Structure 1
Amino acid sequence: MSSEITVATEDDYPPFDFLENGQHVGYNQALLDLIAKEKSLKIKQEILPFQGILAGIASNKYTASNSAIGITAKRAEVVDFTMPITELTNFFLIRKGDTTIKSTKDFAGKTIAVQQGGITAAVLKSHAEPELEKMGLKVGNVKEYSAFAEAYQDLLNKRVDLVFNNIVALKRLVSEKPDLYEIGGQVGPKVYASWAVKKGNKAMLDVLNDGLAKVKASGEMKALQEKWLKVTFDLPDTPVIPPA
């Protein structure tokens, strides 16, 4: 296997991946830098919207992705996941002071923002909507976004009523803008996120897993979580694939 790999990454998903002073930074980038050094890998990085990452890996356009990809049974059919690098459980975000949305039943008739092709859209379909149906209720509208920044702005502008996203990203947002947003309750089950390689590419998967295992054992992974995510997780050593 070549020591040069092409890695697909998004750049609008803080604190995991984002641009700062023209440089691509974040938890995933810092972790990739450690793995590249540990395994003597030369990285060619391609920046693209999240929606193109999995298809690019499946078609061999990219060797791997170091974006934090939420593990689902459907995704596990087309890619292989590394050991988890973070927890990515979903919560809902509302405007500061909005007392009309406290639990799933309050989603009825509301407009919900999710990421196109992302795990938030899957959680809406697999958990929130079925829960509402059991109560004889349903969501008003669903708006899909390629990036969350626009969804957050639309929430402030009252174009949507709530936004689904993972707890890490939401905590960062609320810490930066506590007068504008607040976090509601959990939506769906606990979710883990991993990096991904093409289905069956065991050689690349083993390289990444070995590197991740070493930085996890050394404590460097938790140090990066503390720096970038402001929270640490006790993660399993193998991907946890939830039921379809």
Structure 2
Amino acid sequence: MKIQHKMTWWLGALSALALTACQPESQNAQSQASESAQKVYRVTSELTKFPVVMHDGQGGVSGFEAELLQEIAKKQGFQIEYNIDNWAGLLKKITSGETDILLGSVTITDERRQSMDFTESVLPYQTGLMVQPAFLDAQKFSDLRGKRVNLRKNTVYEKLVPLFSTDNGKNMVYPDNVWGQVKSLLDGESDAMVGASITLEYYKNQHPEKKFHIIYEPDAKISHYGWAVKKGNTELLAKLNQGLAQAKSDGTYDALYNKYWPNSARPQ
């Protein structure tokens, strides 16, 4: 009887050990299955648009909008994969269905709403003018009329060209991207740069030695960047808006904002 009792005890112990050993593998398998079952959304952005999205060329992505979307993806239970295009290509990809989300300083406008849907505001901003220290006395945009003003074509800022342009527009400078705008100012090839407050404030802080001055029109309205999705994709739009609301309520949004714009008031 004692031998039988010992055998029973050892068999029970071995079974328990085997069960315990299998549990981590089982849990790991379940975790991997859950991860692989997550929806993967295609995100398209420009290569670099400081400080909202920056690709490092090795698969890493940083920046306010990119990191905010990554946090939302974790909480909403989906994955994202990036592809890169130029500005004109971004807008075409969302309307054709070649991508799911447009990210990176995409202004919400009534015109764009005709062909794509937008989330709630991701970033509020004002249109500003960053100028060289030689124009420190300038108080309004029209004070820079006839000066070498740089801005990007096919953006919401192009409508300001008549305000600055003289001599058939020979004074206007049109870089291909935001960094090109900044470099033009840094190198003294232009006198002023038109852009969003969040971009201008970021680069002003990055280059205090240049003593750039930023002008805002006193009656300038607040505009908003949002994430664009294909027209009618209500499921994805709901996920993104729910994630945004949660990020703003749990402190995630504010922490990221303060990371990129420390001590800067957010336009309301």
Same fold by TM-score, threshold 0.5 exceeded?
yes
**Counterpart position of 2:53:** 17
Q: Is the 8 A contact 1:94 1:181 kept in 2?
A: no
**Counterpart position of 2:110:** 73
Q: Name the aligned partner's letter for residue 3 of structure 1.
A: K
Deviation at 1:232, TM superposition (A): 5.5
**Counterpart position of 2:74:** 37
Q: Name stretches of at least 5 consecutive residues in structure 2 with no aligned partner.
A: 1-37
Deviation at 1:94, TM superposition (A): 1.2
**Counterpart position of 2:232:** 200
Deviation at 1:210, TM superposition (A): 1.3
1:148-194 residue CA offsets vs partner (Å, 9 max, x unmatched): 22222222444322110111111111111112141331154211111
Q: Distance in 2 between the 1:76 and 1:221 partners? A: 25
Q: Distance in 2 between the 1:143 and 1:170 partners? A: 17
Q: Name the aligned partner's letter for residue 36 of structure 1.
A: A
Indicate the structure whose relative CO is greater, using CA pairs within 8 Å and at least 6 residues apart. 1
1:88 aligns with 2:88: no
In structure 1, the residue corresponding to 2:237 is in which secondary structure? Answer: helix
1:53 aligns with 2:90: yes
1:172-224 residue CA offsets vs partner (Å, 9 max, x unmatched): 11111112141331154211111111122212111111111111121211111
**Counterpart position of 1:178:** 208
Aligned with 1:147 (options 153, 158, 177): 177
Using the TM superposition, name which of 15-24 and 188-197 deviates more. 15-24
Deviation at 1:38, TM superposition (A): 1.1
Q: Distance in 1 between the 2:265 and 2:119 partners? A: 18
Q: Distance in 2 between the 1:193 and 1:39 partners? A: 21
**Counterpart position of 2:253:** 221
Q: Is the 8 A contact 1:107 1:139 kept in 2?
A: no
Instruction: Give the structure with the higher percent helix.
Output: 2
Q: Name the aligned partner's letter for residue 37 of structure 1.
A: K
Instruction: Give the structure with the higher percent strand.
Output: 1
Q: Distance in 2 between the 1:20 and 1:228 partners? A: 17
**Counterpart position of 1:108:** 145
Distance 1:227 1:9, change over 3 A: same
Q: Is the 8 A contact 2:47 2:55 kept in 1?
A: yes
Q: Name the aligned partner's letter for residue 253 of structure 2.
A: M
Q: Name the aligned partner's letter for residue 78 of structure 2.
A: L
**Runs of 4+ off more than 4 Å:** 136-140
Distance 1:25 1:137, change over 3 A: same
Distance 1:219 1:98, change over 3 A: same
TM-score for both structures, normalised by structure 2: 0.75
TM-score for both structures, normalised by structure 1: 0.82
Identity of aligned residues (%): 22
